[in-house]
Amino acid sequence: MDLVSVIIPYHKKRNFIKETIVSVINQSYDNLEVLIIYDDTNLNDLEFLQEISKLDNRIKIINNYKRLGAGLSRNKGIEQSNGKYIAFVDADDTWVPDKLKDQLSFMKKNDYQISHTSYYIVDEKKKIIGQRKARDLLSINEILKSCDIGLSTVIIEKKVITKTDTKFPQLTTKEDFVFWLSLLKKNYKFYAYDSNLTNWTDSKNSLSSSTIQKLFDGFKVYNYYMNYNMVKSMYYLICLSLNYLKKK
């Protein structure tokens, strides 16, 4: 069994993180390491996490000492990982028990280097309030107007990241969107496993729930990272926003 490195950035998710970690360590695919990147200058939750880490010796806590943000924290986790595969999960999301086993089997059977899955959207009480269906994303044009990849569903061969030197940028939101776009620009493809293997939490105090921040970062995705002019950037931002509203 190939080692899977599970990357979890942590910032003020005390009410969710234990359930997230338990869903990871209880995977039927057990050859994994869990890298929790503690991204908070306030150390109040660090002892809490250290207690949780005693549940399983596969858990490792990495302390940033200063706030880096989710994207740079994931980069740090990737750098310190040992697995052949990298799997991402946010600190308020959960996996079903066969998530890694089923998704890796799908990837190996088809010789895919990157995959994502369908997922449920749940509220803070874990009630299902929606779902997203994964689809194959084979070119950058298929994702420019709508970011249809759930970060907590993605598994990627580590060599893809190291070979291309692809990194998450320092953005408050949309950092994963830039990461996916960078890989698609380099002709990597995201293959879809259409099974709901992840529960994505719609958390009201989440950074991703800030509309103004999303718009600001969304514009930066196109204008700065894609190097589009002002008009083209605004066009794609409007498309992205409209597609987001359609999903609500």
Tens-digit pLDDT profile for residues 51-100: 999 999 999 999 998 999 999 999 999 999 999 999 999 999 999 999 99
d(CA 202, CA 77): 24
Residue 60 maps to a domain? yes
> Does the residue 225 lie in any domain?
no
pLDDT tens profile 102-121: 999 999 999 999 999 999 99
**Considering only CA atoms, which of 58, 62, 74 is closest in space to residue 26?**
58
The range of the structural domain enclosing residue 53 comes to 4-207
How many independent structural domains does the chain possess? 1
User: The tokens 């320092």 sit on which residue?
Assistant: 170
What are the b/e assignments for 171-199, b being 16+ CB within 10 Å? Answer: bbbbbbbbbbbbbbeeebebbbbebbbbb
pLDDT in tens, 160-175: 999 999 999 999 999 9
- Examine residue 242 and state whether it is found in any structural domain, yes or no: no
Is 136 within 8 Å of 169 (Cβ atoms)?
no
Domain of 144, CATH number, reads 3.90.550.10
∠ CA 227-230-235, rounded to 5°:
95
118's tokens: 């369908």
The pTM of the full predicted model, rounded to 2 decimals, is 0.94
Classify residue 27: in a domain, yes or no. Answer: yes
**229 falls within a domain:** no
Given a cut of 70, whether residue 17 has pLDDT beyond it is: yes
Percentage of residues in the chain with pLDDT exceeding 70?
97
CA distance 173 to 181: 14
Q: Within 10 Å of residue 66's Cβ, how many Cβ atoms?
A: 8
